[in-house]
Amino acid sequence: MSNSSLDSFRGNISYNAQHSPLGAFFSFTCGLFGSRGGFGLQIGCPGNQNLFIGVKEGNRDARTPLKCLPFYEGASSDEAQRYDVENKSSQQDKSILIAYPPEQIVRRYGWATDEWDTGDFRFTLYSPFFPVPESMAGEAFRRSIMPAIVGELMIDNTQGVTPKTGVFAIYFPDPGARLSDDACGFSWRGQLGVRAELISDSPTNLETVMRWAIQDALCDPNPRHGLGNTPGLFVTIPPGQKATIKLALGVYLDHKVTTRLEGRYLYTRVFGSLEDVLETALTQFNTLKQRAQELDKELASTSLSPDQQWLIAHSTRSYHGSTQLLDVGGEPFWIVNEGEYCMMNTLDLSVDQVFWELRQHPWLVRNLLDRFVRHYSYIDCIKVPKNDKLKVEYAQQSGQDSMAGPRVLGRVLPMDAFELKPGGISFCHDMGVHNQFHPQGHSSYELPNLVGCFSYMTCEELCNWVLCAASYVAHTGDVNWTEQNESTIRACLESLINRSGEAGYVMYDSSRCQTGAEITTYDSLDHSLAQTRNNLYMAVKCWATYLGLELLLKRIGHPSADKAKEQAKRCMTRIVAQTRPEGILPAVFESDNPGFHSRILPAIEGLVYPAEWKIDVSSYQPLYETLKKHTLALLKDPQKRNLFPDGGIRLSSTSDNSWMSKIAIFQYVCRKVLGLDSDPDVKQLLQNADAAHVKWMTDGESAYWACSDQFVNGVAKGSKYYPRIVTTILWMTESKQSS
């Protein structure tokens, strides 16, 4: 009865997934049994509705149980045990709602298809995605940002001897539900809704229901009441027949949704109302379904393992739910919200998502780059210790030596220990939070006088902007944009040189930190990855950034390209020189820093960029060799300090925190750039890790949060409902097409 070529998912099928169009900051989330979900609009978490998707024997008001997918609070195994289709006594019970037990449900999870099959019926959600054309004219643009997904509920009564009634209903705890006037759907406060169309050979009609408890409503002489909070649709199918309810699930906000920079959704330029969105989605149902199935096939036909394919499908969905394409003053404004935190365009996420976005719609990356320059760049100074004694103290200033959790203020040098020297341009951590743009030139996240979480990420964000820009130009060859941005690019080079000093990698903190110190995107990791200065991860990233600057400056024939190259070489030399006798690079290049003894895998993250840019790196073989040895040593460590007990990847040997998005890049560089999987042990290790990572997502806390990034010992503890794991898209390029 499968709807597609998809295989059944063999793991724990009880996990949430986001089902989202692009750019609407909307997700229809479901999948975790016994929990609420449904429509979530502009929130960093699943919705708060109970979904009732099921069938009952007989007509709508038959005194038979309504058997639903367990997509509602209380759909526990206890209730499921009451389900016994052979038990005739149950037919005497009125108003019984029961959930299918997990073992009676098959789930098929493709790139854009999510399907639950109970035997009695099949419920499928399609969330196809399209590149967004830069021109707003034309159907392709309209389709690509249509704020709706589609689904279908197929009820098979071909073997039945009595009628069967199929139901799709949603309980809205917040008031404002209503049925549509034409009895083909329902909506909530004009902001979101469902529209349906019945496909059936038999002379049956779609009807509506709206009261409180769905099972009671169906049996009530008055199935519809204006005061109800559980609108729904149902159809009764005669024995020997089957029917399909096509569903459009969409949203529409027509007003300003952001403050300071006042933005509306860009889809309001091409859709007139919620009704327009839903009607269009239904009209295009077949196209959308076909596109979803093509995407499923594209992923399924790769040579990637089922675990890898699942991680790509899961992270793609989560990414789309966080996207928001606005119209600010007549111009498109691209935003990816930061998962549960809803920070807007967190730049250290953007740099990871660029691999996906360049594949889909490079102009949105350009939009992001431009918006950062125009609204969220700033000029700072750097803090240089006044003398050598202070320099030593500065180096010793580090956070707590705890295994996990954010670092707190340790010994701190006062501002007068430093001379302020020119820093240069950098970029804010983010543009605001929860639809509230922050004052220009400032992020919502960063604060002064800290050495841990919420401190500034000045140098890393500088690198991130350059890496995005170089990736954009390498991918598109957009010389025009590069020329337009010459002054910014040169300012970036100057700024990075100032921060790097003689080392080539970042040595100094921004004056914006005041008495604090810069951190990296690994803000809640330990000293091994949180400190920016003299940090291995940042050093390799600085090296890649110089390569990116060289690439950009070369494109426009600017002589300072050579300076960038010189800095890259200097940076390489200094990194290589840090190698310890055992062939390992310390996480922090400060021998009295606790991070000196940490062993970190993201050391190689920076290598992803030259590979993606397809540039000649032959002059940097020493760095590659050093990092290869380092990585192999860590992976083959007999103490397995960089693995969790379940085989998942531990990014830092001294922390229980690991980030899935960063693991995906690491795995890619490991295989594609360094070729480490030619070693069968490493290959197996990486495969085992994939399996562990899937379990991280489907089991425990993350099962509710659809897709998480930050795991502590394999348990999602932060960065949930997250877009960044879409770095898994890098793996697609590793695949040999099997067809």
- Position 256 contacts a second copy (CB under 8 A): yes
Instruction: Give the one residue of 142, 269, 297, 442 binding a second copy; rule: CB under 8 A.
Output: 442
Query: What's the min distance (Å) between Cβ of 340 and a second copy?
Result: 10
Q: Which residues pair with 237 in a beta bridge?
A: 164
Beta carbon of residue 273, minimum distance to a second copy (angstroms, whole number): 10
- C-beta of residue 192 within 8 angstroms of C-beta of residue 281: no
Check if the beta carbon of residue 111 is closer than 8 Å to that of residue 296.
yes
CB of 672 to a second copy, least distance (A): 37
Site string for a second copy, 276-315 (x = CB under 8 A): ----------------------------------------
Q: In the complex with a second copy, which residue's Cβ is closer, 422 or 439?
A: 439
Q: Of 450 and 571, which CB lies nearer to a second copy in the complex structure?
A: 450
Q: How far is the CB of 489 from a second copy (least distance, A)?
A: 28
Residue 430 CB, nearest approach to a second copy (Å): 8
Contact between 260 and a second copy by CB under 8 A: the answer reads yes
Residue 178: CB minimum distance to a second copy, A:
4
* Joined tokens for residue 289: 């379904």
Name residue 522's amino acid: Y
Closest approach of Cβ 297 to a second copy, in Å? 39
Which C-beta is closer to a second copy: that of 404 or that of 453?
453
Give the orientation angle of helix 536-555 with respect to helix 458-476, to 10 degrees. Answer: 40
Closer residue to a second copy (CB): 257 or 390:
257
Indicate which single residue of 177, 335, 457, 588 sits in contact with a second copy (rule: CB under 8 A). 177
Pick the closest to residue 115 from 36, 20, 207, 7 (CA basis).
Answer: 7
How far apart (Å, rounded) are the C-alpha atoms in residues 192 and 671?
44
**Selection from 598, 711, 600 nearest residue 660 by Cα:** 711
Structure tokens at 213: 């408890």
Token pair listed for 415:
């501002």
Q: If DSSP codes are grouped into helix, strand and coil, which group holds residue 677? A: helix
- Give every CB contact of residue 590 below 8 A, 6+ residues apart in sequence: 395, 396, 398, 534, 596
Given 190, 410, 501, 700, the residue binding a second copy (CB under 8 A): 190
Query: Contacting a second copy (CB under 8 A), which of 50, 244, 315, 444?
Result: 444
Of residues 448 through 507, those in contact with a second copy by CB under 8 A are 448-450, 454
Give the shortest CB-342-to-a second copy separation in angstroms: 6
Query: Residue 46 or 647: which CB sits closer to a second copy?
Result: 46
Of 602-621, which residues contact a second copy (CB under 8 A)? none
Least separation in angstroms between residue 45's CB and a second copy is 10
> Are residues 524 and 657 in contact, defined by beta-carbon separation less than 8 angstroms?
yes
Residue in 210, 204, 274, 288 with CA at minimum distance from that of residue 245: 204
Q: Characterise 104 by phi-psi region: left (phi > 0), alpha (psi -120 to 50), beta (else).
A: alpha
Query: Binding to a second copy (CB under 8 A): which residues in 518-577?
Result: none
Closest CB to a second copy among residues 335, 395: 335
- From 94, 189, 389, 580, residue interacting with a second copy (rule: CB under 8 A): 189
Could you tell me which of 56, 75, 76, 74 has the C-alpha nearest to residue 66? Answer: 56
Query: Is residue 63 at the binding interface for a second copy, with CB under 8 A as the rule?
Result: no
The residue type found at 289 is: K
Of residues 131 and 190, the one with the C-beta less far from a second copy: 190
Give the type of residue at 734.
E
**Residue 435 interacts with a second copy (CB under 8 A): yes or no:** yes
Q: Are the CB atoms for 251 and 147 separated by under 8 Å?
A: yes
* 254 makes contact with a second copy (CB under 8 A): yes
Q: Which stretch binds a second copy (CB under 8 A): 104-112, 132-140, 174-182, 552-560?
A: 174-182
Stretch 361-400 residues interacting with a second copy (CB under 8 A): none
Choices 378-386, 391-399, 429-437, 656-664; region in contact with a second copy by CB under 8 A: 429-437
- Residue 328 engages a second copy in binding (rule: CB under 8 A): no
**Least CB distance to a second copy at residue 43 (A):** 8
Cα 685 from Cα 681, distance rounded (Å): 6
- Which residue in the set 433, 474, 694, 697 belongs to the binding site for a second copy (CB under 8 A)? 433
Residue 102 in contact with a second copy, rule: CB under 8 A: no
How far is it, in rounded angstroms, from Cα 160 to Cα 231? Answer: 27
Among 443, 458, 657, 698, binds a second copy (CB under 8 A): 443
Stretch that binds a second copy, among 124-132, 443-451, 461-469, 472-480 (CB under 8 A): 443-451
Per residue, what are the HEC states of 311-378?
Answer: HHHHHHHHHHHCEEEEEECCEEEEEEECHHHCEECCHHHHHHHHHHHHHHCHHHHHHHHHHHHHHCEE
Interface with a second copy (CB under 8 A), residue from 4, 90, 436, 735 = 436
Pick one of 82, 142, 178, 291: the residue that binds a second copy (CB under 8 A): 178
β-pairing, 192-200 vs 185-188, is: antiparallel
Residues between 331 and 350 that touch a second copy (CB under 8 A):
341-343
Residues touching a second copy, count (CB under 8 A): 39
**Nearest to 541, CA basis, from 504, 516, 512:** 504
Spatial separation of the C-alpha atoms in residues 215 and 192, rounded to whole Å:
24
Among the listed ranges 12-20, 67-75, 282-290, 431-439, the one in contact with a second copy (CB under 8 A) is 431-439
Asked if 269 touches a second copy (CB under 8 A), the answer is: no
**DSSP state letter for 138:** S
445 touches a second copy (CB under 8 A)? yes
Q: Identify which of residues 105 and 261 has a Cβ nearer to a second copy in the complex.
A: 261
Residue 175 near a second copy by CB under 8 A:
yes
- Report the candidate in 35, 284, 265, 245 with the shortest Cα–Cα distance to residue 124: 245
Residue 359: which of 405, 308, 295 has the closest Cα?
Answer: 295
What does the alpha-carbon distance between residue 594 and residue 528 come to, in Å, rounded to a whole number?
8
Q: Which is nearer to a second copy, 264 or 291 (CB)?
A: 264
Residues 216-235 as x/- pattern, contact with a second copy by CB under 8 A: -----xx--xxx--------
**Rounded Cα distance, 592 and 576, in Å:** 19
How far is it, in rounded angstroms, from Cα 662 to Cα 311? 13
Residue 240's nearest CA partner among 166, 167, 155, 168 is: 155
Contact predicate 447/454, CB 8 Å: yes
Shortest distance, position 175 Cβ to a second copy, whole Å: 4
Surface-to-core class of residue 633, CB atoms within 10 Å of its CB (0-12 exposed, 13-18 middle, 19+ buried)? middle
- Closer residue to a second copy, CB minimum distance, 454 or 624: 454
- Of 181, 388, 416, 502, the residue at the interface with a second copy (CB under 8 A) is 181
| CB 495, min distance to a second copy, A | 23
**Residue 583 touching a second copy (CB under 8 A):** no
CB hemisphere CA count around 142 (13 angstroms)? 13
Taking the C-alpha atoms of residue 542 and residue 539, their distance in angstroms, rounded to an integer, is: 5
439 binds a second copy (CB under 8 A): yes
Options 12-20, 295-303, 445-453, 631-639: segment touching a second copy (CB under 8 A)? 445-453
By residue count, the chain amounts to: 739
Judged by the rule CB under 8 A, the positions of this chain that interact with a second copy are 43-44, 175-178, 181, 187, 189-190, 221-222, 225-227, 254-256, 259-260, 341-343, 432-436, 438-439, 442-445, 447-450, 454
